[in-house]
A and B are shown apart, each in its own frame.
Chain A
Amino acid sequence: MKKIVALTLACLMAASLFLTGCSVRQNGGNMQYTGNNSGSNAGDTGSSNSGDREVNVCSWGEYIDESLIDEFEAATGITVNYVTVESNEALYSQLQQGGVNYDVIVPSDYMISQLIEEDMLAELDYDKIPNFSLIGDQFKNLSYDPENKYTVPYTWGTLGIIYNSTMVDGEITSWDAMFDPQYAGNVLMIRNSRDAFGIALMDLGYSVNTADEAEIREAYQRVVDANENGVYQAFVMDEIFQLMENGNAAISAYYAGDYLSMLENNPDLRYVIPEEGTNWFVDAMCILKDADNVDEAHEWINFIASTEANLRNMDYIWYASPNTTALEEYPAYYEELYGEPLDMELYEIMAPSQDVLDKCEAYLVLPSDARTLYNDLWTQLGIV
């Protein structure tokens, strides 16, 4: 009998281990804490600040040159708890749910306006962020933060179609490809409601910011039809890297910066901004109203906004920087680093010129009933 009990206990323990494994995933997408111990030790010995100062940063996956974190920790003695989350919607869920204590978050434009609207962001003290002056004027006072009281831009870029030129005949020029039964089983759709329905809205010729229920439902139906026709292999976020790089899918929609990362591993991939236009986004750093480490958060933001950090981030994650100097210097920086000139066509994908951006539309925050509709339709989508 003892043996049965012992074995059952062992099973239960294994099961509970496994369950906690799940809940970590649940809490943080791909949760990862970087350099916790080493960082704080180095900091404690290296600086006069002997208190255990820390800052909790939540950002997207593959979205920072991680050596910047170590550097910041060594320079300031502040421990950085760096956590990643999958999408703006998932971040919002976490903030609503409570139980997370982020200081700095890096949401996209439309989510920032929603957070401001719900009074969840703290006003920044720009005196503590001198590097804010380096940010280009075209990235200040944007519609999501018209008086620029809450945000310091982190990166910007476009959403577009990424396709594998060996798996597709001819060139892809339109969002239609994301819904075309011809590519059944070969398309990866993006797993967040705003982008997925946004793509369908753009394909139908509507504004991505429409609050018209009929138009949103039409876009939803476009995605449902394609899903029922078996067009989509899967709904993915960062799994897309592996799947596109290994040639497992022909067509997908994702962000320009991530395309450039994939291109390093698979030269057959192409990026196109469809003729219908696309979304251009700004992700910006904000401090939450209930943040515990406000000073540390300002220091972090100022550090990340510096030209040096922007150059290194651009080189690492391939997203365009809003820092004017970094944007100008990057081709030279690249040439010095790699001994070969930067392919200007790629640079144009990373940081498209104004005439391309003129074709693009930024996401604005939707009225709350449209947001509810988005959520409801998004849950409907997988029910088939």
Chain B
Amino acid sequence: MKNKRAFFVIPYVGWMTLFVVAPIIIVAVYAFTTAGGEFTLDNFSRMGTYASVFLRSFELAIIATLICLLIGYPLAYVMAKEGPRFQRIAMVLIMLPMWMNFLLRTYAWMSLLENNGLINQAFSALGIVDLSNAINGGLNSFCAWLNSGLLEWVNGLLGSDFVLNTARPTDQTFIRMLFTQGAVVLGMVYNYLPFMVLPIYSVLVKMDNSLVEAARDLGANTSCVFRRVIFPLSLPGVLSGVTMVFVPAVSTFAISKMLGGGTQLMLGDLIEMLFMGSAYNPNLGAAISIVMMLIVVICMWVMNRFGEGEEQAVIL
């Protein structure tokens, strides 16, 4: 019996060895060698130079993951509570964009976010651009007032030189959206939101409603039921959602290249550039990939520890 079962595992193990373990070993070999094939740690000692790229990538990925969670959780919650018809329609609407090529969707965002793009045209028609100019003007004079009053006093007191920005643009004819970090986050949220919604939804929809009723019976109010019962029970879904959004977001390169403009690289851009792009250095690229993998694994491990106790609750 046991041997028969082991037989079924062979294709999986073969696949994993060939396409997961072997590539990781190859990447590791690259990371510890020079172009000539000699052992070196140089690739890792140069890592400090790229600290800002690591920081930026993780920062943007964390922001995108949080936004996905904030949008995705309520959506999954509402879906799980509604009738089957609503669930079906909502599911199709969430999956629909994923049936279209991902690059095409991101490219479409480029033309939407352009300086003369559709969104900016709508903004100027609705007076939002003027409003933003007016707000900037107001902020400028307020900051100027603070600079000459309060801050001057503080600076005199502390011997410091704090100055607030008074040069916000007041003559914009559009709001710059494309090629900003905000656009990159938007692209990530747009592309990865389904990966957050679906796992949370699948947990919530399976949840035993009698637990909620029991909590109510015992006198818990709505917010207490959510905090103490529903949310803890949905945590496994949240954790897998966070993983599925965070990991691709931190290593994305197409989104940041198209919507970020490449003036500030992200990790994915950097690795792509070193492997396939305009600066060929696969050894350094492999080292950066390894460090990124390690950081991601550590993040995931910490997060899973954090959710461990709660997972027991689901089994109960």
B202 touches A3 (CB 8 A): yes
A3 touches B205 (CB 8 A): yes
For B117, list chain A residues within 8 Å (CB): 246, 248
B103 touches A90 (CB 8 A): no
Q: Residues 256-268 of chain B: 1 if any A CB is under 8 Å from the residue's CB, otherwise 0?
A: 0010111111000
Stretch from A38-46, A230-238, A279-287, A295-303 at the B interface:
A230-238
For A15, list chain B residues within 8 Å (CB): 195, 244, 248
A379 touches B206 (CB 8 A): no
Contact flag A235-B279 (CB < 8 Å), given A21-B101, A26-B272, A242-B111: no
Tell me the bound Cα distance from A379 to B110 in angstroms.
Answer: 24
A384 at the interface (CB under 8 A from B): yes
Q: Which of these, B103, B276, B282, contacts A27 with CB under 8 Å? A: B276
Pair count A-B, CB < 8 A: 140
Contact flag A25-B263 (CB < 8 Å), given A87-B278, A93-B277: no
For B101, list chain A residues within 8 Å (CB): 21
Secondary structure dominating the interface of A: helix
For B254, list chain A residues within 8 Å (CB): 22, 25
Contact flag A92-B49 (CB < 8 Å), given A8-B202, A22-B254, A382-B265: no
For B272, list chain A residues within 8 Å (CB): 26
Measured between C-beta atoms, what is the minimum distance from B169 to chain A in Å? 10
Nearest opposing residue in chain B for A232, CB measure: B263
Name A162-218 residues within 8 Å CB distance of B: 185, 191-193
A134 at the interface (CB under 8 A from B): no
Tell me the bound Cα distance from A108 to B223 in angstroms.
Answer: 66
Name B103-137 residues within 8 Å CB distance of A: 103, 110-111, 114-117
Measured between C-beta atoms, what is the minimum distance from B45 to chain A in Å? 14
Q: Report which residue of A93, A232, A233 has the largest number of chain B beta carbons within 10 angstroms of its beta carbon.
A: A93
Chain B interface (Cβ within 8 Å of chain A)?
A: 49-50, 52-53, 95, 98, 101-103, 110-111, 114-117, 176, 178-179, 191, 194-195, 198-199, 201-203, 205-206, 240, 244, 248, 253-254, 258, 260-265, 269-270, 272-282, 284
Pick 15 A–B contacts, CB within 8 A, sort by A: A11-B195, A11-B199, A89-B277, A93-B278, A93-B280, A94-B276, A233-B261, A236-B261, A239-B258, A242-B114, A246-B116, A247-B116, A379-B274, A382-B264, A383-B53
